[in-house]
Amino acid sequence: MKPSWITGIILTAIAGATISAISIFQKANQPSIALTEEWIAIQVADGDSITVRQTDGSQMSVELCGIDAPELKQGEVPAQALSNEAKDKLLKLVAAADNQLMIIPVAKDSDGHTVAEVMAHGQGDTEISFQEELLKSGLAKTRLGEVECPNQIAFENAQRIAITSKAGVWSQSNLEFP
């Protein structure tokens, strides 16, 4: 065998192994959720949960990725008021979008809910991020956890706006989140 022929075989073997490894990696990291964008909102459960439906009738429960809204707790007036405000804000965002939402699935949580970024078409070519709107209003806090949202940096920037203006949860120091 000529040395150049041996080099060619080795390079071909390396290229084949690399392509196989990339293929396996891509299959292992594919989301188990179909990346279908257009959904219809049918229910807002609270400040960070929505139930959506596709035109074929399939439904899914969606938790907004990267945020926590105040939980409704009996007897805790500040938390209860902000919990209601967060839900109302989410209802208004859904209504402004005529219930037509873009769902960008990120993962499934332990309860089987889809964790996703939720957006709607705004005026012109703009997209409205529900997470950013809730964060800028001070009606949610960013949540870092096992799921990393694609727009986490934008969420953190939106939260800084609320902190600076002391909006919502940032006007009260004693509120707890789940």
In a domain, 24, yes or no: yes
157 shares a domain with 123 = yes
138 shares a domain with 67 = yes
The pLDDT of residue 38: 84
51 shares a domain with 9 = no
132 shares a domain with 54 = yes
The tens digit of pLDDT for each residue in 143-155 reads 877 778 999 999 9
Number of domains in the chain: 2
The tens digit of pLDDT for each residue in 102-134 reads 999 999 988 889 999 999 988 888 899 999 999
57 shares a domain with 1 = no
Catalogue the E-assigned strands of the chain: 38-46, 49-53, 59-64, 67-68, 100-108, 114-121, 127-129, 141-142
Structure tokens at 176: 């707890």
The pLDDT of residue 96: 94
Give the domain range for residue 21.
Answer: 1-30
The pLDDT of residue 117: 95
146 shares a domain with 117 = yes
Structure tokens at 107: 């993962």
What CATH number did the domain enclosing 48 receive? 2.40.50.90
154 shares a domain with 97 = yes
